[in-house]
Amino acid sequence: MKMLMADYRVGNLHSIKKALELAGAEVEVVTDMDRLLDAKCIVFPGVGAFDCTVSPIASITGKLKERLDAGVPCLGVCIGTHILFPGSDEGELSGIGFFEGRVRKLKSRTVPHMGWNTVEGKDPLMEDVPDNHFYFAHSYYCDPVSRDVVKGSTTYEGFEFATLMRRNNVVATQFHPEKSSESGLKFLKNFVSFAEDKA
Protein backbone atom coordinates (compact mmCIF):
# COMPACT_ATOMS: atom_id res chain seq x y z
CA MET A 1 0.00 0.00 0.00
CA LYS A 2 1.51 3.32 -1.12
CA MET A 3 0.42 6.37 0.84
CA LEU A 4 1.06 10.02 0.06
CA MET A 5 1.74 12.11 3.15
CA ALA A 6 1.19 15.86 3.05
CA ASP A 7 4.16 17.98 4.08
CA TYR A 8 2.67 21.34 5.07
CA ARG A 9 6.17 22.43 6.18
CA VAL A 10 5.01 22.95 9.76
CA GLY A 11 5.96 19.76 11.59
CA ASN A 12 8.34 16.84 11.90
CA LEU A 13 7.09 14.01 9.71
CA HIS A 14 9.83 11.49 10.45
CA SER A 15 8.11 9.65 13.31
CA ILE A 16 4.74 9.11 11.57
CA LYS A 17 6.44 8.11 8.30
CA LYS A 18 8.67 5.61 10.08
CA ALA A 19 5.75 4.20 12.11
CA LEU A 20 3.61 3.69 9.00
CA GLU A 21 6.51 1.98 7.24
CA LEU A 22 6.94 -0.34 10.24
CA ALA A 23 3.22 -1.02 9.92
CA GLY A 24 3.75 -2.22 6.35
CA ALA A 25 3.03 0.85 4.23
CA GLU A 26 5.10 2.54 1.55
CA VAL A 27 5.05 6.26 2.33
CA GLU A 28 6.00 9.15 0.07
CA VAL A 29 6.11 12.65 1.55
CA VAL A 30 4.87 15.29 -0.90
CA THR A 31 5.11 19.07 -0.91
CA ASP A 32 3.15 19.41 -4.17
CA MET A 33 -0.34 19.21 -2.67
CA ASP A 34 -1.97 18.66 -6.08
CA ARG A 35 -0.47 15.16 -6.04
CA LEU A 36 -2.77 14.26 -3.16
CA LEU A 37 -5.68 14.35 -5.59
CA ASP A 38 -4.35 11.24 -7.36
CA ALA A 39 -3.32 9.36 -4.21
CA LYS A 40 -4.60 5.87 -3.43
CA CYS A 41 -4.32 6.74 0.27
CA ILE A 42 -3.74 10.12 1.92
CA VAL A 43 -2.08 10.89 5.27
CA PHE A 44 -2.53 14.24 7.00
CA PRO A 45 0.03 14.17 9.84
CA GLY A 46 -0.07 16.00 13.16
CA VAL A 47 1.86 18.93 14.69
CA GLY A 48 1.14 22.52 13.68
CA ALA A 49 -1.38 25.33 13.86
CA PHE A 50 -4.65 25.27 11.90
CA ASP A 51 -4.10 28.13 9.42
CA CYS A 52 -0.47 27.18 8.73
CA THR A 53 -1.57 23.61 8.05
CA VAL A 54 -4.54 24.50 5.84
CA SER A 55 -2.76 27.19 3.86
CA PRO A 56 -0.79 24.86 1.52
CA ILE A 57 -3.99 22.97 0.58
CA ALA A 58 -6.36 25.96 0.54
CA SER A 59 -6.73 25.93 -3.24
CA ILE A 60 -7.73 22.26 -3.38
CA THR A 61 -9.84 21.69 -0.24
CA GLY A 62 -12.98 21.26 -2.34
CA LYS A 63 -11.33 18.69 -4.61
CA LEU A 64 -9.88 16.87 -1.61
CA LYS A 65 -13.34 16.62 -0.07
CA GLU A 66 -14.64 15.17 -3.33
CA ARG A 67 -11.90 12.52 -3.29
CA LEU A 68 -12.59 11.62 0.34
CA ASP A 69 -16.34 11.53 -0.31
CA ALA A 70 -15.60 9.17 -3.21
CA GLY A 71 -13.93 6.71 -0.83
CA VAL A 72 -10.20 7.37 -0.95
CA PRO A 73 -8.71 6.02 2.31
CA CYS A 74 -7.24 8.70 4.53
CA LEU A 75 -5.61 9.00 7.95
CA GLY A 76 -5.68 12.28 9.84
CA VAL A 77 -3.62 12.75 13.01
CA CYS A 78 -4.11 15.63 15.49
CA ILE A 79 -3.92 18.83 13.38
CA GLY A 80 -4.30 16.54 10.36
CA THR A 81 -7.67 15.60 11.84
CA HIS A 82 -8.60 19.22 12.59
CA ILE A 83 -8.21 20.27 8.95
CA LEU A 84 -10.82 17.67 7.97
CA PHE A 85 -13.41 19.95 9.65
CA PRO A 86 -14.85 23.16 8.12
CA GLY A 87 -13.06 25.46 10.57
CA SER A 88 -11.34 25.91 13.92
CA ASP A 89 -11.39 28.36 16.82
CA GLU A 90 -7.62 28.37 16.38
CA GLY A 91 -7.64 29.97 12.94
CA GLU A 92 -9.47 31.96 10.28
CA LEU A 93 -9.12 29.76 7.20
CA SER A 94 -11.58 27.11 6.05
CA GLY A 95 -10.75 23.43 6.35
CA ILE A 96 -11.69 20.56 4.05
CA GLY A 97 -15.13 20.13 5.62
CA PHE A 98 -15.27 16.35 5.33
CA PHE A 99 -16.62 16.07 8.88
CA GLU A 100 -19.45 18.42 9.84
CA GLY A 101 -18.77 20.37 13.02
CA ARG A 102 -16.00 22.58 14.38
CA VAL A 103 -12.64 22.40 16.14
CA ARG A 104 -12.89 24.12 19.54
CA LYS A 105 -10.62 25.15 22.41
CA LEU A 106 -10.32 22.48 25.10
CA LYS A 107 -12.64 23.11 28.05
CA SER A 108 -10.20 21.75 30.62
CA ARG A 109 -8.34 23.62 33.35
CA THR A 110 -4.90 22.60 32.12
CA VAL A 111 -4.17 23.28 28.45
CA PRO A 112 -2.49 21.84 26.46
CA HIS A 113 -3.48 18.24 27.13
CA MET A 114 -0.13 16.46 26.99
CA GLY A 115 0.76 12.90 27.85
CA TRP A 116 -0.87 9.49 28.00
CA ASN A 117 -4.61 8.99 28.27
CA THR A 118 -7.19 6.33 27.44
CA VAL A 119 -9.38 6.06 24.37
CA GLU A 120 -12.72 4.45 25.18
CA GLY A 121 -14.76 2.90 22.39
CA LYS A 122 -15.09 -0.02 20.05
CA ASP A 123 -13.93 -0.01 16.46
CA PRO A 124 -12.31 -2.63 14.20
CA LEU A 125 -9.23 -0.40 14.03
CA MET A 126 -8.73 -0.97 17.77
CA GLU A 127 -8.79 -4.77 17.37
CA ASP A 128 -5.89 -6.50 19.14
CA VAL A 129 -4.45 -3.17 20.32
CA PRO A 130 -2.49 -4.15 23.48
CA ASP A 131 -4.18 -1.51 25.62
CA ASN A 132 -6.15 1.69 25.09
CA HIS A 133 -3.51 4.17 26.26
CA PHE A 134 -2.36 6.65 23.62
CA TYR A 135 -0.23 9.79 23.57
CA PHE A 136 -1.81 13.25 23.27
CA ALA A 137 -0.46 16.76 22.66
CA HIS A 138 -3.15 19.33 21.82
CA SER A 139 -5.07 22.42 22.93
CA TYR A 140 -8.10 22.03 20.64
CA TYR A 141 -10.61 19.22 20.14
CA CYS A 142 -13.03 18.13 17.44
CA ASP A 143 -16.76 18.66 17.97
CA PRO A 144 -18.54 16.74 15.19
CA VAL A 145 -22.23 17.35 14.49
CA SER A 146 -22.97 13.63 14.06
CA ARG A 147 -22.09 11.35 16.96
CA ASP A 148 -22.22 8.44 14.50
CA VAL A 149 -18.70 9.30 13.32
CA VAL A 150 -17.29 9.10 16.86
CA LYS A 151 -15.69 5.70 17.42
CA GLY A 152 -13.64 6.58 20.49
CA SER A 153 -13.54 9.29 23.15
CA THR A 154 -11.26 10.49 25.94
CA THR A 155 -11.93 12.24 29.25
CA TYR A 156 -9.43 14.83 30.42
CA GLU A 157 -9.99 16.73 33.67
CA GLY A 158 -13.67 15.81 33.57
CA PHE A 159 -14.26 16.88 29.97
CA GLU A 160 -15.06 14.17 27.41
CA PHE A 161 -14.35 14.70 23.72
CA ALA A 162 -14.02 12.69 20.50
CA THR A 163 -10.57 11.23 19.88
CA LEU A 164 -11.24 8.62 17.18
CA MET A 165 -13.55 9.38 14.27
CA ARG A 166 -14.38 7.52 11.10
CA ARG A 167 -16.65 8.20 8.14
CA ASN A 168 -16.52 6.30 4.88
CA ASN A 169 -12.84 5.39 4.52
CA VAL A 170 -11.46 8.34 6.48
CA VAL A 171 -9.97 7.63 9.90
CA ALA A 172 -9.14 10.57 12.15
CA THR A 173 -7.40 10.57 15.53
CA GLN A 174 -6.77 13.25 18.11
CA PHE A 175 -4.03 11.10 19.64
CA HIS A 176 -0.65 10.42 18.08
CA PRO A 177 -0.41 6.71 17.19
CA GLU A 178 3.19 7.19 16.05
CA LYS A 179 4.11 8.21 19.62
CA SER A 180 1.98 5.58 21.33
CA SER A 181 4.35 2.61 21.54
CA GLU A 182 2.97 -0.86 20.74
CA SER A 183 -0.66 0.23 20.91
CA GLY A 184 -0.05 2.94 18.34
CA LEU A 185 1.87 0.61 16.04
CA LYS A 186 -0.91 -1.98 16.13
CA PHE A 187 -3.47 0.73 15.41
CA LEU A 188 -1.43 1.81 12.38
CA LYS A 189 -1.10 -1.80 11.20
CA ASN A 190 -4.87 -2.08 11.40
CA PHE A 191 -5.22 1.13 9.40
CA VAL A 192 -2.81 -0.10 6.71
CA SER A 193 -4.86 -3.30 6.35
CA PHE A 194 -8.05 -1.27 6.28
CA ALA A 195 -6.68 1.06 3.59
CA GLU A 196 -5.40 -1.83 1.47
CA ASP A 197 -8.85 -3.39 1.58
CA LYS A 198 -10.58 -0.15 0.58
CA ALA A 199 -8.17 1.21 -2.02
Q: What is the mean pLDDT of residues 135-154?
A: 98
| Catalytic-residue membership of 113 | no
Q: What is the mean pLDDT of the chain?
A: 96
Q: Check residue 12 and give its pLDDT.
A: 73
Residue 54 amino acid letter: V
| CATH code for the domain of 113 | 3.40.50.880
Q: How deeply is 94 buried, as exposed, middle or buried, from its count of CB atoms within 10 A (0-12, 13-18, 19+)?
A: middle
Q: Output the CA–CA distances (angstroms, integers) from residue 28 to 46, 74, 115, 145, 193, in the order listed.
A: 16, 14, 29, 33, 18
Q: Check residue 199 and give its pLDDT.
A: 78
Q: What is the mean pLDDT of residues 159-179?
A: 97
Q: What percent of the chain has pLDDT over 70?
A: 100
Catalytic residue among 41, 74, 78, 142: 78
**31 pLDDT tier (thresholds 50, 70, 90):** very high
Catalytic residue among 82, 113, 138, 176: 176
Answer with the residue of higher pLDDT: 17 or 1.
17
166 and 125 in contact (C-beta within 8 Å)? yes
Whether the predicted pLDDT of 10 surpasses 80: no
Q: Check residue 36 and give its pLDDT.
A: 98
Whether the predicted pLDDT of 11 surpasses 80: no
Could you give the number of structural domains in the chain? 1
| Catalytic-residue membership of 176 | yes
- Domain limits at 178? 2-198
DSSP string, 16-31: HHHHHHHTT-EEEEES
Q: Check residue 72 and give its pLDDT.
A: 98
**131 pLDDT tier (thresholds 50, 70, 90):** very high
Q: How many CB atoms lie within 10 A of CB 61?
A: 20
Cα 57 to Cα 6: distance, rounded to the nearest angstrom: 9
| Catalytic-residue membership of 41 | no
Q: Check residue 34 and give its pLDDT.
A: 97
Whether the predicted pLDDT of 1 surpasses 90: no
**What would the pLDDT profile of 60-101 be if each residue is shown by its tens digit?**
999 999 999 999 999 999 999 999 999 999 999 999 999 999
Catalytic residue among 90, 113, 138, 178: 178
